[in-house]
Amino acid sequence: MKVLVIGSGGREHAIIKSLKKNNKISEIIAAPGNGGISKDAKCIPIKANDITGITNYVTEEKIDYVVVAPDDPLAIGMVDALEEKGIRCFGPNKAAARIESSKVFSKNLMKKYNIPTAEYETFSDYEKAKCYIESDYVKFPIVIKADGLALGKGVVIAENLEEGRDALNIIMNEKKFGDSGSNIVIEEFLTGPEVTVLSFTDGKIVVPMISSMDHKRIFDGNKGLNTGGMGVIAPNPYYTKEIAAICEKTIFLPTIEAMKKEGCPFKGCLYFGLMLTQNGPKVIEYNSRFGDPETQAVLPLLETDLLTIMESVTDEKLESIDIRWKDAFSACVVMASGGYPESYKTGLPISGLENEGEAIVFHAGTEYKSDTFFTTGGRVLGITAIAENPRKTLEKAYKTVEKIKFEGAHYRKDIGKY
């Protein structure tokens, strides 16, 4: 069986390492992949959002199954195009992927079906948005979100009116995020512990995975700019069995039912970004795919074969699969380029990767040439360890991190402290 995984980050590397455990798979191909992925799969130079290139390759090479991992190709209809060619896929179609690609769609969905989330208003007119935040209705801080995909950066927390005006101008007038900022969501600022729950769903039932806690800020103590994620622990210590039961009843199942009623059932991995507020769990955001770096912490805990689960999602037979998890803890520490998430150098040689030890090294932004790995992105590596308790897990991860070197390497030293 030949499987193609679309994408080039740490998430895709984690998916590929999990798929490699299935002996039915004769070959795994990645498009475009990265340096580390090239050691676990055949990498082909086709961009993740090249629908024509991907569909032609899949047809010519007789690929049996495709995993569409990133948000962009899902949002533009990669799954639709592949299914039209008769190719079996894991991932939602374009209509269902709107749950991430349009914040306006997702917020309106939650309002319509009484799924708990922050109070909000939507705007397509700059002057109306500006008048709204200047009104007595608004209490700062507020959250301003670009409607569409913006590489995880289209969200601004405005502490006061001046910051709110600046954010509206940057998003709606200066078009920092392009057309993604043509429509915006302005919502109340929620407080409480954050939880990520990835889930498998075939459009009929939903099976939550192990919960996780992402660390978004660039510096220790949750300071500095927001990033795509600087580290993860799983399970999330705040996500109790009691809270999980509430989330299943008030958020998970209602979301799946809502999508079905809207005529766009969701099949794939649905990401629930939650805030545990004083008034109960609320949805901060949905993602239409595996989160990154959460996947790098969660999938290593999976005992059931990943391909079997994915195929059951495709065939709408998820209820027939008994999904099991290791009774253990995991931690992923992200090693980033100095200067990330703003400007940073690339092309820097990486040493020490042979010292993987007891951890797993997932490559996010690397290339391999002349027998050496080099940096190519902001987030470079994800170092994941598993152990029987959180303390030992973090010790194992950081022990490996300290052995890996590249110029300007930056990582948080407080992952797992909360």
Q: What is the pLDDT of residue 153?
A: 64
Q: What is the pLDDT of residue 262?
A: 97
Q: What is the pLDDT of residue 151?
A: 61
Q: What is the pLDDT of residue 226?
A: 84
In Å, how far are 8, 43, 45 from 354, measured between CA atoms?
Answer: 21, 21, 26
Cα atoms found within 13 Å of the Cα of residue 406, Cβ hemisphere only: 28
Which residues lie across from 373 on neighbouring strands? 350, 368
CA-wise closest residue to 208 among 238, 152, 249, 262:
249
pTM of the model: 0.94
Cα gap 68→89, rounded to integer Å: 7
| DSSP classification of residue 174 | S
pLDDT in tens, 317-365: 999 999 999 999 999 999 999 999 999 999 999 999 987 778 999 999 9
Burial class for 131, CB neighbours closer than 10 Å (0-12, 13-18, 19+): exposed
Q: What is the pLDDT of residue 225?
A: 86
pLDDT in tens, 4-16: 999 999 999 999 9
Amino acid identity for residue 225 in this structure: L
Cα atoms found within 13 Å of the Cα of residue 60, Cβ hemisphere only: 6
In Å, how far are 142, 143, 151, 160, 161 from 157, measured between CA atoms?
Answer: 6, 5, 16, 9, 11
Q: What is the pLDDT of residue 358?
A: 86
Q: What is the pLDDT of residue 180?
A: 82
Low-confidence spans in the chain with pLDDT less than 50: none
Q: What is the pLDDT of residue 130?
A: 94
Q: What is the pLDDT of residue 176?
A: 87
Q: What is the pLDDT of residue 49?
A: 97
Cα gap 417→220, rounded to integer Å: 10
